[in-house]
Amino acid sequence: MGMTTSSRATTELGTPIPVRRLPRYGFHRHTEQLNGRLAMLGFIALVAVEAKLGHGLLIW
């Protein structure tokens, strides 16, 4: 069997293997991790501000 120059991968029998592409928008593992990490940083910042002020921010 000769080597093919197509960009698609094939099995030994010549069956094409589908290539999965990531969608451009929506829920993804990396965006959900980033969102969670930013939420944790925001919560820690809120706790630090409340500790510095001595009261909660919702009192204003």
- The structural domains of the chain, with segments of one domain joined by +, span 29-59
Q: What is the pLDDT of residues 2-18, one digit of tens each?
A: 454 445 677 777 788 88
pLDDT of residue 41: 97
pLDDT of residue 24: 74
Tell me the two tokens of residue 56: 């909660």
Q: What is the pLDDT of residues 16-59, one digit of tens each?
A: 888 888 777 777 788 889 999 999 999 999 999 999 988 887 77
Read off the pTM: 0.53
Buried b (16+ CB within 10 A) or exposed e, 10-19: eeeeeeeeee
pLDDT of residue 7: 55
